[in-house]
């Protein structure tokens, strides 16, 4: 269903879950009524944003030397069994194909939950010499995971993402790629107006088969974090498992080191909706909006043709300058149109009445704060772009300020619980050894009703202190509830 922002009537601050689930359908982003549970139909309004998100990351990846590839959706079961830790980590989530027509298949095929085992099977064939390295490949695709609980754009059985699979001659080059992945995230997140924390996950919570896992978390309004990207240093785990080797300049054989990086395009949509939206509906950044500017004619008897003509002149001028816009010439009232396009999150609205048509001016209204400015037709394109850029800058600043306000220092598990109940991160200490850390982490999670160790904040000075659970020496970490 679609409605106007006046009809929307949901309270984001006090009932985020209801607000989020209603806005997805009210703004016509998705439909869950497809007759396979956990699989979502994506509507045009969301797909336009998804295409921009893909382009944003693909452009940035290629700037840093990544090249696009496309691998099969299916992965044979024996590929999974090559890297034992990885297989054990993902097998419970895998969808298996067991029939080919009417015949049972000799070996099961998996719908890819992630593609390490597909890529490295081919890297075994492609990598022979040091001159074959580095390899920096990515693919834009969907992946499949058997999720018992689903929520559009947050957790699903099929979801959109990009995955890179990179191979380097040595550890130093591979670790440098992790830093590069972080830079790519920072550049793209700025366009999305989304501040994030980049955590090094604890060893007990790393990606199956990785040496180290780094994850990108964003805090949503209900105090739960959403992980929307990960990057992993894999060491030589996968290259050794798949017998990927190269000869150096002296003919000596080595196992290369590798990384993988997964920007979660699907979850980025959830982050955009949750971070920027308000009680009137969606608020999209100007750079990513499915429609950047809506032009609303305000009719006056006897002046309809002049107003309509001027609206089309504005549309043509903006489109000639790269602005995506539309004239709403429907028979609805101007007030209804204002509310409808506010619900849809269009960043800018241009109001055109008889006076504007006569004076060749326009009134520009921002979606986020309803600020109005008036400009001449000759300055229209530049003014719209400038206003859109200012809107994006303000969205990012607001989100950054909100994130900074959502970190509380905690010394005990009781204080951790209070911080989480206040919809914040708890900054505390947890046992640094894997065995003790797991135990204390589990106790803390149970005590706080879902508080999980997100990890050490990358770039923050490392300090140690007393574990908030047992009092032993531990590392400084962030705790939060999560999706």
* pLDDT for res 195: 97
Question: Can you tell me the mean pLDDT for 194-213?
Answer: 95
* pLDDT for res 5: 60
CATH of 5-276, one of 3.10.20.30, 3.40.47.10, 3.30.930.10, 3.10.180.10: 3.30.930.10
Pairing of strands 425-431, 407-409: parallel
pLDDT digits (tens, 9 = 90+) for 9-18: 789 999 999 9
pLDDT band of residue 6 (cuts 50, 70, 90) is low
pLDDT band of residue 302 (cuts 50, 70, 90) is confident
Is residue 99 within 8 A of residue 83, CB to CB? The reply is: no
Q: Distance between alpha carbon 284 and the CA centroid of its chain, in Å?
A: 14
* pLDDT for res 49: 98
pLDDT band of residue 97 (cuts 50, 70, 90) is very high
pLDDT digits (tens, 9 = 90+) for 326-340: 999 999 999 999 999
Q: Considering only CA atoms, which of 300, 305, 298 is closest in space to residue 362?
A: 298
pLDDT at 175 over 80: yes
pLDDT band of residue 2 (cuts 50, 70, 90) is low
pLDDT digits (tens, 9 = 90+) for 306-326: 999 999 999 999 999 999 999
Q: Which residues pair with 147 in a beta bridge?
A: none
Angle (deg, nearest 10), helices 413-421 and 434-447: 50
Domain assignments of the chain as residue spans, ordered by start: 5-276, 293-402, 407-482
Tokens describing residue 144: 């499949």
* pLDDT for res 253: 97
Report the topology of domain 293-402.
Answer: Rossmann fold (3.40.50)
Q: Average pLDDT of the chain?
A: 95
Report the alpha-carbon distance of residue 201 to residue 199 in Å, rounded.
6
pLDDT band of residue 92 (cuts 50, 70, 90) is confident
Integer angstrom CA distances of residue 259 from 59, 120, 387, 463: 20, 11, 40, 27
* pLDDT for res 9: 79
Angle (deg, nearest 10), helices 44-63 and 265-276: 120
Angle (deg, nearest 10), helices 171-192 and 44-63: 140
pLDDT digits (tens, 9 = 90+) for 16-38: 999 999 999 999 999 999 999 99
* Dihedral class, residue 106 (left if φ above 0, else alpha if ψ from -120 to 50, else beta): alpha
Q: 407-482 architecture in CATH?
A: 2-Layer Sandwich (3.30)
Is residue 192 within 8 A of residue 288, CB to CB? The reply is: yes
Structure pTM?
0.95
pLDDT digits (tens, 9 = 90+) for 255-287: 999 999 999 999 999 999 999 999 999 999 999
Report the alpha-carbon distance of residue 41 to residue 49 in Å, rounded.
15
* pLDDT for res 432: 80
First vs last C-alpha separation in the chain: 26
Map tokens 């754009």 to a residue.
153
């Amino acid at each position: 269903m679609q409605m106007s922002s006046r009809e929307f009537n949901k309270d984001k601050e006090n009932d985020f879950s209801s607000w989020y689930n209603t806005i997805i359908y009210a703004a016509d982003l998705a439909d869950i009524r497809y007759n396979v549970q956990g699989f979502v139909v994506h509507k045009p309004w969301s797909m336009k944003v998804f295409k921009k998100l893909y382009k944003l990351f693909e452009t940035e990846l290629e700037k840093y030397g990544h090249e696009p590839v496309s691998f099969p959706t299916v992965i044979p079961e024996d590929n999974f069994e090559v890297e034992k830790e990885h297989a054990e980590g993902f097998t419970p989530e895998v969808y298996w194909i067991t029939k080919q027509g009417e015949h049972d298949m000799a070996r099961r095929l998996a719908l890819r939950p992630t593609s390490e085992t597909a890529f490295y099977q081919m890297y075994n064939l492609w990598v022979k010499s040091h001159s074959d390295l580095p390899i920096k490949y990515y693919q834009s695709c969907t992946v499949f995971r058997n999720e018992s609980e689903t929520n559009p754009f947050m957790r699903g059985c099929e979801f959109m993402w990009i995955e890179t699979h990179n191979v380097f001659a040595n550890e130093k080059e591979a670790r440098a790629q992790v830093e590069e992945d972080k830079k790519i995230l920072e550049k793209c997140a700025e366009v999305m107006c989304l501040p994030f924390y980049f955590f090094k996950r604890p060893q007990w919570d790393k990606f199956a088969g990785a040496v180290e896992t780094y994850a990108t978390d964003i805090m949503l309004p209900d105090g739960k974090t959403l992980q929307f990207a990960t990057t992993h240093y894999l060491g030589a785990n996968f290259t050794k498992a798949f017998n990927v080797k190269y000869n150096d300049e002296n003919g000596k054989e080595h196992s290369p080191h590798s990384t993988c990086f997964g920007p979660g395009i699907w979850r980025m949509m959830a982050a955009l909706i949750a971070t920027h939206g308000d009680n009137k509906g969606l608020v999209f950044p100007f750079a990513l909006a499915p429609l950047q500017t809506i032009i609303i004619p305000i009719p006056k008897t006897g002046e309809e043709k002049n107003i309509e003509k001027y609206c089309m002149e504005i549309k043509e001028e903006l489109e000639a300058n790269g602005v995506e816009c539309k004239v709403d010439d429907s028979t609805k009232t101007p007030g209804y149109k204002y509310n409808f396009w506010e619900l849809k999150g269009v960043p800018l609205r241009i109001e055109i009445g008889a006076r504007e048509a006569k004076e060749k001016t326009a009134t520009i209204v921002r979606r986020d704060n309803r600020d109005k400015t008036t400009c001449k037709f000759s300055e229209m394109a530049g003014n719209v772009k400038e206003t859109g850029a200012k809107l994006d800058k303000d969205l990012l600043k607001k989100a950054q300020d909100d994130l900074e306000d959502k970190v509380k220092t905690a010394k005990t598990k009781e204080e951790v619980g209070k911080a989480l109940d206040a919809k914040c991160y708890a900054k505390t200490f947890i046992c640094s050894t894997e065995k003790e850390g797991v135990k204390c982490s589990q106790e803390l999670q149970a005590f706080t009703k879902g508080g999980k160790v997100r990890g050490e904040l990358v770039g923050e000075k490392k300090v140690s202190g007393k574990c908030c659970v047992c009092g032993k020496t531990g590392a400084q970490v962030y705790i939060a509830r999560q999706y």
